[in-house]
Amino acid sequence: MIQKHRLTVLLALFLLPLLASAEGGMTLEQIARLQQVGQAVVSPDGNRIAYTRIVPRRPGVGEDGPAWSELHVIGRDGQSRGFITGEVNIRQLGWMPDSSAITFVSRRGSDSQTTLYRIPVAGGEAERLLTIGTGVAAYSLAPDGRRVALISTEPLDDDTQALHDKGFNAIIFEEDWRPRRLWIADLNGGEPETLDIEGSVQRVQWSPAGDRLAIVVTPRQLVDDTLMFQRIRIIRPDGSEIGRIDNPGKLGASAWSPDGAHFAFIATDKIEDTREGRLMVAGRDGGEWTNLLPDLLGHIWHVNWRAPGEILFISYEGVEARVGQIAVNGRGHTTLYERSGLIFDSLSVADNGRMVFTANTPEHPREVYAPSPRTLEVERLTDSNPWLADVRLARQQVVRYPAADGLEIEALLFWPLDYEQGQTYPLIVAAHGGPEAHYSNGWLTTYNLPAQHAAAAGYFMIYPNYRGSTGRGVEFALTSQGRPAKEEFSDLVDGVDWMIEQGLVDADRVGMTGGSYGGYASAWAATYYSDRFAAAVMNVGISDKISMLGTSDIPQELYLVHYLTWPWEDWDLFKKASPIYHVQNARTPILILHGDADPRVDPTQSRILYRYLVLQDDPPPVRLVLYRGEGHGNQRASSRWDYSLRLMRWMDLYLKGEGGDPPPHQLDYRLDVFSDD
């Protein structure tokens, strides 16, 4: 009888994620269907906007894989229509200088590799322009519209390729890398010319004056180099160097001024800064640069120009975002657009100054926005999910609470959809990755952090920006540097205590989840803070700091901006900051999820934690799930759906159910919910 009762409870708990819609609110199936805008680029004449729409595949229906990316265009009349839709992957949108056609990169039809295309806006099929090397990785059109600069990984020479074809293809770790090369091609025909550039080319931007290019180069084509050692070079179209911008540390977006006289870029002041976010400007030949906003308590991640002397940028400050403007000499700093809950995340500018943005809000994922000619306020131009208007969304609130040492921590709080005053509810803490990242007051519901569904199912869910987060300036971002798993994770527990003190949360029903560094926080919650958490779901997380540095593809980044020391210089720091060091304290049921092809956090991090836990005399409930072929986060529709179901089933059992042994490892995927389209 007891076993029969337990089976009934488990079945009911499993069905909860799919049946939440019975009383309103968002379901996991709806989250899996969410579409959003990707890139948006306004035409040079300002009359049209090309954008990509990200369309998820349906789990169990058709071929599995990552989401499709369609091409859509908003015309002069403000109406949007699909140009290339369906099972396509369109990326890297651009415009011909005369606004007659859209350029993009894709692999279509008989293409053996990624190819540069253009499609006329007046109608007609997409025209295949050219490809190069191992496929087009990036490109930049010359202002005359006749030439194009292309980046591609250097192909194997004929002899080496022949050996590979015979099976002699051993991987010589970090030695057999191939650089990305830069080519200049004439769109009217002729053989592309390879430029002799030392290092590996990551990015190229043709100057509007047409006489030079800005390229971003790394010493090697290794992830560590692309994170920490990107440097700017100014060259002529023949490859000869004009000047350099030897920026320290991480490098972000960049843009030429319309007259080609200046070059703006986002970087760091010093190599130890955890994240780029300072707005810099240099002359057209490179050389010295100026930090235009040295005292900004935020991070800038997007930059463009409104006119030859006017720089536009998007700044993230706290949990909000704003569009700002500043003169090239550092004067006239002003805010153009700012609205609570409107999170800008890209900007494009036409030759006539028309601005186009992508942005998200608590009510919807990323859409296209532009200033209204009538009200001068930004207005939404697209609606990728019209059905969202009929979904009851839970309250999303900006909250602030004190850490143990008095530091104020900002967070986003989702309330239970049908909250009743005086009752206490279970809580899920969402720890972000990085830690040099932050949550903004926009759309936060995803397959691995399903806030709106959790709220519909009767949970509080809190998204804290613990110390070390971006959005509050360099000093705040550096507060956790060299101090892993100390105050940064205490900030998360302080947020739980604050929720309990408000009379909102049941202290015995608190869980934590997150990916990457958030997965590390989840493993820490299940071991070091095991007495505080009743459930944890760890995604691509860290369990052993010592082996993590030795197996990751970013050891220099970890040293320079995170640890500030090597393990052999302080074994004790690395050991005590490792969740496996605290496994004997572990009583928290933990679900461990990881892509088995993750290059950033090797899946051995999850295997080690699983093994150490199950070897204990009295192990907590634990399960390890590895996703075949997935990397640092799931991309395929099937593995995302699997993840969502497992996450909520685990939380439901241990935060709302009777607990006990883990649920059956099999899932009933209920794929019929996706077959009605």
For 574-612, the pLDDT digits (tens) are 999 999 999 999 999 999 999 999 999 999 999 999 999
User: What is the maximum span of the chain, computed from C-alpha positions, in angstroms?
Assistant: 82
Whole-angstrom Cα distance, residue 25 to residue 390? 9
Going 157 to 158 to 163 to 167, the CA torsion angle's sign is positive
Question: Identity (one letter) of the amino acid at 424?
Answer: T
Helices (H), 445-486: 451-456, 474-477
Rounded mean pLDDT, 146-169? 92
| pLDDT of 19 higher than 60 | no
Partner residues linked to 140 by β-bridges:
149
DSSP assignment of 571-640, as one string?
HHHHHHTSGGGGGGG--S-EEEEEETT-SSS-THHHHHHHHHHHTSSSPPPEEEEEETT-BSB--SHHHH
- pLDDT for the residue numbered 174: 87
Rounded mean pLDDT, 532-561? 96
- pLDDT for the residue numbered 190: 84
Is 549:570 a contact under the CB 8 Å cutoff? no
pLDDT confidence band for 23 (50 / 70 / 90): low
Residues with Cβ within 8 Å of residue 419, at least 6 apart in sequence:
395, 425
| pLDDT of 1 higher than 50 | no
pLDDT confidence band for 6 (50 / 70 / 90): very low
- pLDDT for the residue numbered 204: 98
- Token pair, residue 419, equals 């909250």
| pLDDT of 369 higher than 50 | yes
Half-sphere exposure of 41 (CA within 13 A, CB side): 17
Rounded mean pLDDT, 472-485? 95
Residues with Cβ within 8 Å of residue 183, at least 6 apart in sequence:
132, 133, 149, 150, 151, 152, 192, 193, 194, 195
| pLDDT of 16 higher than 60 | no
CA 275 and chain centroid, separation = 14
Rounded mean pLDDT, 377-401? 97
Half-sphere exposure of 57 (CA within 13 A, CB side): 19
Q: Please report how the helices 517-526 and 487-501 are oriented relative to each other, as an axis angle in degrees rounded to 10.
A: 70
178 C-beta neighbours (distance < 10 Å), count: 15
- pLDDT for the residue numbered 24: 83
Is 627:640 a contact under the CB 8 Å cutoff? no
Rounded mean pLDDT, 373-383? 92
Whole-angstrom Cα distance, residue 366 to residue 60? 26
Whole-angstrom Cα distance, residue 295 to residue 126? 47
Question: Identity (one letter) of the amino acid at 390?
Answer: D
| pLDDT of 15 higher than 60 | no
Rounded mean pLDDT, 662-671? 94
Residues with Cβ within 8 Å of residue 617, at least 6 apart in sequence:
none
Rounded mean pLDDT, 263-290? 96
CA 32 and chain centroid, separation = 17
177 C-beta neighbours (distance < 10 Å), count: 14
- pLDDT for the residue numbered 611: 98
**Selected residue with higher pLDDT from 24 and 499:** 499
Rounded mean pLDDT, 295-303? 97
Residue 30: which of 391, 349, 549, 339 has the closest Cα? 391
Residues with Cβ within 8 Å of residue 188, at least 6 apart in sequence:
146
Q: What are the tens digits of pLDDT across the range 200-244?
A: 999 999 999 999 999 999 999 999 999 999 999 999 999 999 999
Domains of the chain: residue spans and CATH: 2-30+392-672 (3.40.50.1820), 132-246 (2.120.10.30)
- pLDDT for the residue numbered 677: 58
Whole-angstrom Cα distance, residue 158 to residue 282? 42
With a pLDDT cut of 90, the percent of the chain lying above it is: 92
Rounded mean pLDDT, 265-269? 96
Using a 10 angstrom Cβ sphere, with 0-12 exposed, 13-18 middle and 19 or more buried, the burial of residue 387 is: exposed
CA distances from 217 to 196, 225, 630 (A): 12, 9, 28
Residue 101: which of 80, 77, 117 has the closest Cα? 117
DSSP assignment of 646-668, as one string?
HHHHHHIIIIIS---SPPPS---
**Selected residue with higher pLDDT from 7 and 34:** 34
| pLDDT of 7 higher than 70 | no
Residues with Cβ within 8 Å of residue 171, at least 6 apart in sequence:
none
- pLDDT for the residue numbered 3: 34
Is 134:107 a contact under the CB 8 Å cutoff? no
Residues with Cβ within 8 Å of residue 317, at least 6 apart in sequence:
296, 297, 298, 471, 472
587 C-beta neighbours (distance < 10 Å), count: 15
- pLDDT for the residue numbered 596: 96
Q: What is the mean pLDDT of the chain?
A: 94
CA 662 and chain centroid, separation = 31
Rounded mean pLDDT, 171-191? 92
